[in-house]
Structure 1
Amino acid sequence: SGFRNLCISSNHRPIISRLRDSYKFVCNIKSFVIIKFQNDESNPIDQRTETTQFFPATIGSMDTAKRVFLSALIPFASSVFPEFGSFDDQEQKTIIMNFWFRFHPFEATYRADKAFPDHMDRDAGGYTTYICGDLADFFLSDCPDAVRVEDAKKLISKTSKVSFTKNREFIARLKPHHEEFLAVIGIMFWTLESRLVSEETIQLSDRYRHDILQELHVYYREELGMDDYAARLGELLTLVQIFEKFEVMKEFFELLRLLDVFSDDNLAYKLIKE
């Protein structure tokens, strides 16, 4: 039964189980805040990830969505990885920002694959919004008056048709199970550069990555009954590098800023400049 499987997963996959609960918490925060922001009278209980209604994004709505997303990540990290709460503020910030530049594009692509299987040029710009080149006019509708509209539309269209589509095709082919998705975000969280954090944190990251991989082995063998899963696991782990998007996002947002799509106080732009 589903209850029995849940008990088994909690006992044999404790980290992935915590990731599941905490990711649900992140989704709930994003859902509730967006409902309030939109002054929507919908019942929050009805707002579930798999049934979310999506609307075209604007640059303003995307900025709001990023602020909400980031605000949820420290409680997310503390609930999944208890040691995180003992890190100093600077190390917490370093880890969260390193994580966000992978997690955000990965989750956006993963959710877009479920929401828009027939529209490969769409990406989930926020919890209830999507971006695509065909709707570039709407995306730019709340930009400053100085925006260079035609150049910005070309940039968004190219990003949609090339970058979004490339990411979507990989996810569509691999079709990660939710358990695999959770494991990947856990590994992304602990994929750190040694120059940025302490030696103790690097050792902790090695242990967590090892433990999450062990839980994936248990999932493949005991729940899916798979013996030969090495190739799939290898492809799954490439997602950690495929969605390392800091440089790509940096270039994209710097170009948008040059085209006056937003001002210097745009969150994503500020983050890439830090």
Structure 2
Amino acid sequence: MDPFVAEKEEYDLAPCTYQLMNEGTRILVSGLADFVPAVFPEFDRLPIADKWLLIRNYQKIFHFVDSNLRTHRRYGPYSGMYVHVFGSYTSYQSAETVKGFFNNCPDLTNALEAERIYRECLQLNCGKIDSPLHNLMPTEDEYLALMCLSFWSIDNLEESNEMLEGLATRYRTEILTDLAERYHQTIGMDEGAVRIGGMYCLIMALKNAEMSMKWEYEVYRMLNVFDDNTYMYKLQMHRTDCYE
């Protein structure tokens, strides 16, 4: 793909499939390893286990926010349920793409049942995000702020980590202070406080959708449309070979 076309995001989107999403997730995680330290320099000095913990905790939320941002850029401000969402950087998911999503999965035996679950979960997860997204209707700058805030929203880590929690508190404070100052200069503190509250409501909705997807992936594994080498599933199982 021509890099200038990619930068403008004017390329045609393909229907998402298992293989496209699986490879897209691998590319996303690799990209986050470069993106995060560019935004938060202290990340580079963390032990590798902590880096991996943060990226694994963040990658689905980043995908959700980035998908909505790029939909916003392509189709304008949010005005109701999106017709489709991005499945990877160059593919989309919708009710129409569900049929065929699992055509290149490891085992087609239970693909029809997996399609049924996928359709229901896609509708359910979009529904979880729909109301807070519609209430907030983020600007592009607010989408970028959401990316930063959600990275340090680490209340659901598998185990307590005082160092990361302290770092997260400091970075969240810096981000919110900067946001409050921007709002003070533009829309006023009262309206700004409402919008910050809306951002946190959206982050909570995204985390709820993420939890639903964890259940969904376990079902796909039981149906064998995912296997132990499915990268998306290995991330969920905290497999260390995801580094490779």
Query: Normalised by the size of structure 2, how large is the TM-score?
Result: 0.84
1:220 maps to 183
2:45 maps to 86
Deviation at 1:77, TM superposition (A): 1.4
1:232 maps to 195
Residue from 144, 152, 164 that aligns with 2:126: 164
Instruction: Count how many residue pairs are aligned between Structure 1 and Structure 2.
Output: 232
2:142 maps to 180
Amino acid across the alignment from 1:97: R
Residue from 205, 208, 220 that aligns with 1:242: 205
Deviation at 1:198, TM superposition (A): 3.9
1:207 equivalent to 2:166? Answer no
Q: Is contact 2:16-2:88 (8 Å) kept?
A: yes
SS of alignment partner, residue 36 of structure 2: helix
> Would the alpha carbon gap of residues 204 and 166 (structure 1) be closer, same or farther in structure 2, given more than 3 Å must change?
closer
Query: Normalised by the size of structure 1, how large is the TM-score?
Result: 0.76
1:132 equivalent to 2:94? Answer yes
Give ranges in structure 1 of 5+ residues lacking alignment: 1-41
2:70 maps to 111
> Would the alpha carbon gap of residues 163 and 198 (structure 1) be closer, same or farther in structure 2, given more than 3 Å must change?
closer
1:265 equivalent to 2:229? Answer yes
1:5 maps to none
Q: Percent identity?
A: 26
Deviation at 1:122, TM superposition (A): 2.2
C-alpha separation in 2, matches of 1:195 and 1:58: 30
Q: Is contact 2:15-2:91 (8 Å) kept?
A: yes
> Would the alpha carbon gap of residues 185 and 93 (structure 1) be closer, same or farther in structure 2, given more than 3 Å must change?
same
Residue deviations 1:165-212, cap 9 Å, x none? 442453244221111111111111112247746423322211110110
1:69 maps to 28
C-alpha separation in 2, matches of 1:51 and 1:175: 23
Give ranges in structure 2 of 5+ residues lacking alignment: 239-244
> Would the alpha carbon gap of residues 192 and 49 (structure 1) be closer, same or farther in structure 2, given more than 3 Å must change?
farther
1:151 maps to 113
RMSD: 2.3
C-alpha separation in 2, matches of 1:203 and 1:119: 37
Residue deviations 1:144-177, cap 9 Å, x none? 3433132112112112222224424532442211
Amino acid across the alignment from 1:139: F
SS of alignment partner, residue 125 of structure 1: strand
